[in-house]
Amino acid sequence: MSQHLKTMINTLELTCPSPEQRLKVDWPNSDNYQIWLKRDDLLHPIVSGNKWRKLKYALLAAKHNNVPHIISFGGGFSNHLHALGYACSRLGIQLTAIVRGDYSAHPSPMLEDLARWHAKVQYVDRQTYRLRSDADYLAQLSLTHPGAMIIPEGGSQHSALAGVMEIIDELGRSYDHILAPVASGGTLAGLIHATRHINTTVTGIAVLKGQGYLEDLVTELLPSATKPGHHWDINHDHHFGGYAKSTPHLSAFCAEFYTQTHIPIEPVYSGKLFYAAKALISEGAFTRGAKILLLHTGGLQGARTA
């Protein structure tokens, strides 16, 4: 580990690596499998889970190159912007958060945190926000903010894969299946690339409506295109209506899971992952005796919406 990385980890007070633990639940058929959990939610209370994994090398490059300013994108309850805002504050980097929708009259708890961490917040309408990947729009941002590093929504970019791939290096055992939530694609792409030469199937649990779209996002991030069906796929059956959509049934499941395990989850990402895992295990979707790893990607901003 480089001295720059050690210094950054110490500055952010991260706990690395995250623990790997057996998950004991009373789901139907759960006794037929070995169910494990990678607790990336315990890396840090704020720079949590896959947010640290995806931001790690971008932040390291920013510090190494003395980048004064980072620009990124997200919604009013973005785990990504929350983690990035805290990290930038601790590392002495100015953050500009471009936020979908105008929350100026009623800022979310996440946005209140960004203000406390001295981030600059720019509210934009949905039409402008759709330009977040447009080359001309990004070029204009670079002209307006010389020297700034622009990080995509969710932190999902090619440099993010290296941080996510380290999850596989940290594991103490091999698994037949790895399940993780998928939204912007970076985490799933990293897991897919890291397991390309081993006998492990990676399944993304879609947390938004996006059949085809999500597969394309992931494939574009992979160093070489790996088609669905090779050793990965995306399950689209448990998004509960779309991104940040929930139901009383899902909320009740999250509460029940916490009561049973004392592991906090929320209805935007982790809740949908564990709900889908329960459904798949209950219906016997895996070979009996399979070793299954669930990746808790952290981020509890979705639980602050109530």
Which domains can be identified in the chain, with CATH numbers? Answer: 3-46+157-304 (3.40.50.1100), 50-155 (3.40.50.1100)
User: pLDDT tens digits for 119-152?
Assistant: 999 999 999 999 999 999 999 999 999 999 999 9
d(C-alpha 105, C-alpha 110), whole Å: 14
From CA 118, how far away is CA 96, in angstroms rounded?
Answer: 9
Q: What is the mean pLDDT of residues 83-96?
A: 97
Residue 289 has pLDDT above 70, yes or no: yes
CA dist 31 and 25 (Å) reads 9
Q: How confident is the model at residue 1 (pLDDT cuts 50, 70, 90)?
A: confident
By percentage, how much of the chain surpasses pLDDT 90?
A: 90
Phi and psi torsions of 276, nearest 5°: -65, -40
**Peptide linkage before 17 cis (omega within 30 of 0):** yes
